[in-house]
Amino acid sequence: MKYASLVFRSLFRHRLRTLLTLSFLALSVFLVALMQGFLGTLDALTTSSASGSRLVVQDKASFTNVIPESYGNFLRAQPEIEAVTQFQWFGGEYKDPKNFFANFAVQKDTYLQVYREEAGVDLLPPEGVRDFLQDGNGCIVGKSLADKYGWKVGDVVPLRSPIFNLSVRLNVRAIFQGKRQSDEQALVFGLKQIQEAVPWMKGRVGSFVVRVKSSQDIPKLCERIDRNFANASPETLSMSENAFNLNMMKMFGDFGTMLHSITSAVLVAILLVTASTMAMTIRERSTQIAVLRALGFTAGKVMGLLLAEGLLLALMGGLLGLGLAVLAAKVTAGLASAILPWMADFYIPPDTLLLCLVGTLAMGLLSTFVPAYQATRKPIVEALRAL
């Protein structure tokens, strides 16, 4: 610690260069942390234990097509199935097209069974469940969504769907608080309202969501369902809900490959820039290093001081970048959740933050080691000739 002042002053010997390098390091760590946090959020979305016990049955050609409601009879007859609910994306807008959020039409009673971890009877007051089931215009709303628009139990929520060219007025009968922020970004109401108002939706549903007794039964159950409807019109495509979520993500592109490629490029850039900066800094101070050694500093001690500079530079840049990343993640989660509900869970886990910091320190150490080793092995007499 007695050399801390010397290390700090040496590091800021050229302030502009050091500040520019710090800015680059902070920006690089910021990008890496955000991308890894985003990948973690996607991974959590597609590996959810609750979603792992459910499967989705949709039209084989496209999930936007509807399928006959009668397909549910076969699903309910399967011994591995615990509950079956009907599902339909409504896409309703609240007062203004800008007020977009997830809203679904479902089979009310079975929905509370299939999605009991997210919005089931255990998360709702008994009177709320009763009113939701009895009121044809009743709906349930996630707490985060209700707080955003100031809704409370008893309020009327008007929604206009451009998909169905239909307007509905829904009565808020219960507000649920989920285990995750993303679970609270949705509004759910009865599918019968759409089926009764839209002629081409009579006897039709968007998809079925099935809860199975054991997740191990999902592969064989999906195969059996699709085989049964192989010659029907339309045919079905069955998959686990995690696989369904993954397919939805792939519609936006292969985020995993893209972000891993960017991360690799950024890490290489961090190494090159830090190594270039430290090499230049050490090369300019070759005579200073020789003087220190002539005064009695051992080569190991001088090398330790130089490595400390590289570590300090990496530490400052890493901490600044991680701090900005955490702040950006909070802001992004609040803004993006209005369009992508699962983004409400976007954050950077502590282990990712620690990994980014350790990686930055390792690169700082690695980029400093070679020029520091060369400088401390240079003969003192040769280095002093520049004086």
- Per residue in 50-63, pLDDT (tens digit) is 566 899 999 999 88
Q: Are 204 and 189 in contact (CB under 8 A)?
A: no
Query: What pLDDT does residue 197 have?
Result: 93
**Residue 156: beta bridge partners?**
171
Q: What is the mean pLDDT of residues 61-78?
A: 93
Share of the chain above pLDDT 70, in %: 85
Question: Helix (H, G, I), strand (E, B), or coil: what is residue 6?
Answer: helix
- CA nearest neighbour of 140 among 98, 182, 187: 187
Residue 230's pLDDT band (cuts 50, 70, 90): very high
Greater pLDDT, 355 or 249: 355
Query: What pLDDT does residue 215 have?
Result: 86
Share of the chain above pLDDT 90, in %: 36
Assigned token pair, 353:
């933050």
CA dihedral (245, 236, 228, 211) positive or negative: positive
Q: What is the mean pLDDT of residues 96-111?
A: 89
Q: Whole-angstrom Cα distance, residue 178 to residue 173?
A: 16
Residue 126's pLDDT band (cuts 50, 70, 90): confident
Q: Whole-angstrom Cα distance, residue 131 to residue 52?
A: 30
Residue 287's pLDDT band (cuts 50, 70, 90): low
pTM score, whole prediction:
0.69
Query: What pLDDT does residue 251 have?
Result: 58
Q: What is the mean pLDDT of residues 83-94?
A: 93
Q: What is the mean pLDDT of residues 343-366?
A: 84
Read off the pLDDT of residues 8-29 as tens digits, 9 standing for 90 and up.
777 777 778 788 888 888 888 8
Q: Whole-angstrom Cα distance, residue 206 to residue 58?
A: 7
Tell me the Cα Rg of the chain. Answer: 30
Assigned token pair, 228:
């049964």
Q: What is the mean pLDDT of residues 268-272?
A: 74
CB atoms within 10 A of CB 131: 19
Assigned token pair, 72:
């549910």
**Amino acid at position 194, single letter:** I
Greater pLDDT, 44 or 175: 175
Query: What pLDDT does residue 18 have?
Result: 80
Residue 155's pLDDT band (cuts 50, 70, 90): very high
**Residue 207: beta bridge partners?**
87
What's the first-to-final CA gap in the chain, in angstroms?
Answer: 30
* CB hemisphere CA count around 92 (13 angstroms): 21
- What's the CA angle centered on 124, arms 119 and 129, to 5 degrees? 100
Give all strands (DSSP E) within 151-271, no chain letters.
156-161, 166-176, 186-190, 204-205, 207-212, 236-240
Segment among 82-96, 114-128, 242-256, 258-272 with least mean pLDDT: 242-256
Residue 386's pLDDT band (cuts 50, 70, 90): low
Q: What is the mean pLDDT of residues 216-223?
A: 92
Query: What pLDDT does residue 272 have?
Result: 75
Q: What is the mean pLDDT of residues 223-248?
A: 88
Q: Are 37 and 346 in contact (CB under 8 A)?
A: yes
Q: Are 172 and 135 in contact (CB under 8 A)?
A: no
